[in-house]
Structure 1
Amino acid sequence: MTTTQSRTTVKTLTLEVPDPAAAAAFYAAFGVGDHVAVRAGEAPTTGFRGYTLSLVVSQPNIVDAFVGAALDAGATSLKPAKKGFWGYGGVVQAPDGAIWKIATSSKKDSGPATRQIDDIVLLLGVDDVKASRQFYVDHGLEVAKSFGRKYVEFATDPTNVKLALYGRRALAKDAGVSPEGTGSHRIVVGSDAGPFTDPDGFAWETA
């Protein structure tokens, strides 16, 4: 009898915030409250935290709906939603400091703004994409896409969070912020791989 070993995937995301009640209210209004957890955390952090969270949706009016909801709930606009050669998207920063990109590969609407999320992506800005890629492979993640030292995307189940790696400076530029930053990332990743800290200081715990 042959047994198939399940691959490691990201199952939960927990943001460490100074005011969990306020953060939970923001994420509920934003529309992602079912996808991220919050808990109290006061670890010092300044500047760019080294990651972004992305909502991948199907059309521009859904991007606008999420961006509008985030801004109405107290987020700050880092990049207004607009068309690009890759599609349509914008970037906002939550009151707790987390950076969210909302994007679609489509440039035209084909239906109503349903607020349907197709994918949630945790994009880590790392110092050495190749080294971090190998670290995660050694911890049971399976590479789905790889572009040398520039970008790596790991395989995931449809209901889980997608994990990808990008250079720190490139990710900061994409988010519209300075790459400088120190202190805690203030995000904890939950998986079935067991607790560890990766080469860039991101903390993982058992989901």
Structure 2
Amino acid sequence: MPFIDSVTLEVADPAAATAFYDTTFGLGDELRVRGSDARTDGFRGFTLSLTVSQPANADSLFEAALAAGATALKPAAKSFWGYGGVLRAPDGTIWKIATSAKKDSGPASREVDELVLLLGVSDVGASKRFYVEHGLAVAKSFGPMYVQFDTPSSPVKLGLYRHKALAKDAGVSPDGTGSHRLVIGGDAGAFTDPDGFVWEGSPALETRLSGSPLNHAAVD
């Protein structure tokens, strides 16, 4: 089964992006950055999510990101599914920080349970078939709306969402042009999917971010 070991964000200022992510989310090699001046405008067609165990952890990460220069798209709040919010990092990447828990069970920390990449696609069924043909197995599928792939051992989880629905969930307009500014790394091979998302066999020339790996507290 294909293994997704990283996502690489292509940014205008790698040093600034590294500093932001290192001091806020503290992720390890599963999140990387590298320089790019590729044209991009509006919604880039994907979001990254940090899932955590309790609302206090979501607040801690959210507040740290805002203090470091991120912009809130949806302030952290309770909902019927749990608790969380959406923000845009200074490099333009949209992040959702969320938990299914509605109450805290311990002291706040910046411990992250999962890093999830959601790709906004024009045809969920066609993209699902494409990825299955490239070796990915489907864990959950909800008709033409959403697909979650079975990647239990991967540090990066992957799902597909309808493009407009993903933009609505993020609180932004679905309009966008130019580069996704995203490269997915793993052992599935090098290819480009039907919506223009690029996969590399082994990410290269990136700036690797320092910090603790997932399932460890990034900042005490």
TM range (shorter): over 0.9
Look up the SS of the partner of 2:75 in the other structure: strand
Look up the SS of the partner of 2:91 in the other structure: coil
The alignment-based identity, stated in percent, is 64
Aligned residues: 201
Gaps of 5+ in 1: 1-6
How far has the Cα of 1:167 moved from its partner? 0.3
How far has the Cα of 1:73 moved from its partner? 0.8
- Tell me how far apart the structure 1 counterparts of residues 26 and 185 of structure 2 sit (CA, whole Å): 17
**Aligned twin of 1:119:** 114
**Aligned twin of 1:41:** 36
Q: TM-score, structure 2 length as denominator?
A: 0.89
Q: 8 Å contact 2:41–2:178 — kept in the other structure?
A: yes
- Aligned match for 2:201, one of 164, 181, 206: 206
Tell me if 1:128 matches 2:123: yes
How far has the Cα of 1:193 moved from its partner? 1.2
User: Can you list the C-alpha shifts for 1:162-182, whole angstroms capped at 9, x where unaligned?
Assistant: 000000000000000000001
User: Can you list the C-alpha shifts for 1:119-170, whole angstroms capped at 9, x where unaligned?
Assistant: 1100001000000000000001010011111100001134520000000000
- Tell me how far apart the structure 2 counterparts of residues 159 and 139 of structure 1 sit (CA, whole Å): 16
- Tell me how far apart the structure 2 counterparts of residues 190 and 103 of structure 1 sit (CA, whole Å): 24
Q: 8 Å contact 2:3–2:153 — kept in the other structure?
A: no
Q: 8 Å contact 2:3–2:154 — kept in the other structure?
A: no
Gaps of 5+ in 2: 203-220
**Aligned twin of 1:69:** 64
Q: 8 Å contact 2:119–2:160 — kept in the other structure?
A: yes
- Aligned match for 1:100, one of 95, 101, 109: 95
109-118 vs 119-128, which moves further:
109-118
Q: 8 Å contact 1:9–1:155 — kept in the other structure?
A: no
Tell me if 1:28 matches 2:16: no
- Tell me how far apart the structure 1 counterparts of residues 56 and 9 of structure 2 sit (CA, whole Å): 27
Which amino acid letter does the alignment assign opposite residue 60 of structure 1? P
**Aligned twin of 2:140:** 145
